[in-house]
């Protein structure tokens, strides 16, 4: 009994500093920023929603831009000669003569008349199947494929067609190309403006969340600041916390946007044989945003996470700077 008492006292004496050191380590490892709470989870959800909408906007802008580029290429590659029927006119001979004249111009790759069956198919959505085009005064077309690098002189081509085929009209589609380019540029501009507004709203949400987090531990921040803790150290704690928060929300929103794009692409492939799919494919392709679109989604995720961390850092530094100035004003 007498030999055990000193050992127990020695154990208690050695255990007390160890426990004190463990308590100091636990206190030291306690983060300045409050742990994940209801407000933190709400911020993750808000960032996820804003990132999702931003990625959808960027994907739609990419889809419109790529589709407009395809339209512009296809329209600029072809011109059409429209021949209206007239009394005592052999339409087939007029088509052949117009194609012959167009083929003789430099810069014209080919000039092919649209046959009766193809013309009937073009009119089928409006006039129904089984149409006899000889019974109606239907204009006929000659499709002229041109060399984009060396287009023909359309004014001379019109002048050559006028005496030979008086009812022929040449359409080089320049008006449509100009309108298409203007529409695409306007759509892209509006899309990027909406994207900038969404990112700005995300920044404002992070500012309010950072101020709320600082209000929850304001006394700790003030004590640390006044005992000598550098603003850079305190700001780094907030920056790391909000970087993780922003990365979680941005990643969730980006993954949701990618799933939406993949779902639309899969749906368009399943309905490829329906009339609705034909119209959608003619307007938007196969709803695939391509590698550039998915790279844009990844970029938006990184930008949102970076903006979240940067915003929290700037907000904390501004708050601590105000603490330094406040006593002087008083």
Report the domain count for the chain. Answer: 2
Q: What pLDDT score does 144 carry?
A: 92
The count of other CB atoms within 10 Å of the CB of residue 163 is 7
The count of other CB atoms within 10 Å of the CB of residue 256 is 15
Distance CA 192, CA 287 (A): 19
Distance CA 220, CA 32 (A): 7
In a domain, 5, yes or no: no
Q: What is the pLDDT of residues 157-214, one digit of tens each?
A: 999 999 999 899 998 877 777 787 888 888 889 989 998 998 888 888 888 877 777 7
Print the domain residue range for 306.
Answer: 37-72+183-329
SS3 content of the chain, % helix, strand, coil (to 5): 75, 5, 20
Helices 218-226, 290-329: crossing angle, 10 deg rounding:
70
pTM: 0.65
Percent of the chain with pLDDT over 90: 19
In a domain, 63, yes or no: yes
Q: What is the pLDDT of residues 56-86, one digit of tens each?
A: 998 888 888 887 777 777 777 888 999 998 8
pLDDT score of 12 more than 50: no
pLDDT score of 286 more than 90: no
Give the containing element (helix H, strand E) for 259: helix 231-270
Q: For 130, which DSSP code?
A: S
Enter the tokens of residue 95: 């088509």
Q: What pLDDT score does 112 carry?
A: 92
Q: Note whether 238 and 126 are same-domain residues.
A: no
Distance CA 133, CA 56 (A): 46
Q: Note whether 47 and 123 are same-domain residues.
A: no
Strand 140-146 relative to strand 168-171, pairing: unpaired
Q: Note whether 53 and 202 are same-domain residues.
A: yes
Most confident residue range from 27-36, 117-126, 284-293, 316-325: 117-126
Q: Note whether 154 and 299 are same-domain residues.
A: no
What one-character-per-residue DSSP string does 61-80 give?
Answer: HHHHHHHHHHHHHHHHHEEE
Q: Note whether 65 and 200 are same-domain residues.
A: yes
Q: What is the pLDDT of residues 199-245, one digit of tens each?
A: 888 888 888 877 777 776 667 777 776 777 777 777 787 788 888 88
Task: Tell me how far the alpha carbon of residue 46 is from its chain's centroid.
Answer: 19
Distance CA 104, CA 144 (A): 11
Out of 106, 134, 166, a domain closes at: 166
Percent of the chain with pLDDT over 70: 77
Q: Note whether 315 and 252 are same-domain residues.
A: yes
Between 89 and 30, the higher pLDDT residue:
89
Q: What is the pLDDT of residues 246-279, one digit of tens each?
A: 899 999 999 999 999 888 777 767 655 555 555 5
pLDDT score of 302 more than 90: yes
């Amino acid at each position: 009994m007498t030999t055990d008492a000193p050992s127990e006292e020695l154990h208690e004496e050695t255990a007390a500093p160890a426990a004190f050191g463990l308590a100091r380590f636990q206190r030291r490892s306690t983060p300045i920023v409050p742990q994940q709470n209801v407000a933190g989870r709400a911020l993750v959800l808000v960032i996820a929603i804003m990132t999702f909408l931003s990625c959808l906007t960027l994907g739609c802008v990419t889809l419109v831009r790529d589709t407009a580029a395809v339209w512009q290429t296809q329209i600029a590659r072809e011109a059409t000669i429209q021949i209206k029927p007239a009394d005592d006119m052999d339409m087939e001979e007029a088509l052949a003569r117009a194609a012959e004249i167009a083929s003789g111009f430099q810069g014209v790759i080919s000039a092919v008349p649209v046959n009766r069956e193809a013309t009937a198919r073009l009119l089928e959505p409006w006039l129904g199947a089984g149409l006899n085009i000889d019974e109606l005064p239907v204009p006929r077309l000659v499709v002229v494929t041109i060399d984009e690098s060396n287009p023909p002189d359309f004014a001379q081509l019109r002048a050559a067609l006028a005496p030979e085929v008086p009812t022929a009209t040449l359409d080089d589609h320049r008006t449509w190309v100009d309108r298409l380019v203007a529409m695409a540029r306007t759509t892209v501009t509006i899309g990027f403006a909406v994207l900038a507004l969404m990112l700005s709203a995300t920044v404002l949400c992070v500012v309010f969340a950072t101020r709320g987090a600082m209000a929850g531990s304001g006394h700790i921040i003030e004590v640390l600041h006044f005992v000598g803790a550098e603003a850079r150290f305190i700001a780094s704690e907030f920056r790391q916390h909000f970087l993780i928060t922003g990365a979680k929300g941005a990643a969730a929103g980006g993954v949701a946007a990618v799933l939406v794009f993949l779902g639309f692409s899969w749906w368009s492939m399943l309905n490829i044989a329906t009339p609705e799919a034909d119209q959608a494919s003619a307007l938007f392709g196969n709803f695939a945003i391509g590698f550039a679109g998915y790279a844009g989604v990844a970029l938006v995720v990184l930008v949102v996470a970076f903006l979240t961390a940067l915003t929290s850092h700037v907000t904390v530094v501004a708050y601590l700077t105000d603490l330094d100035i406040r006593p002087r004003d008083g």
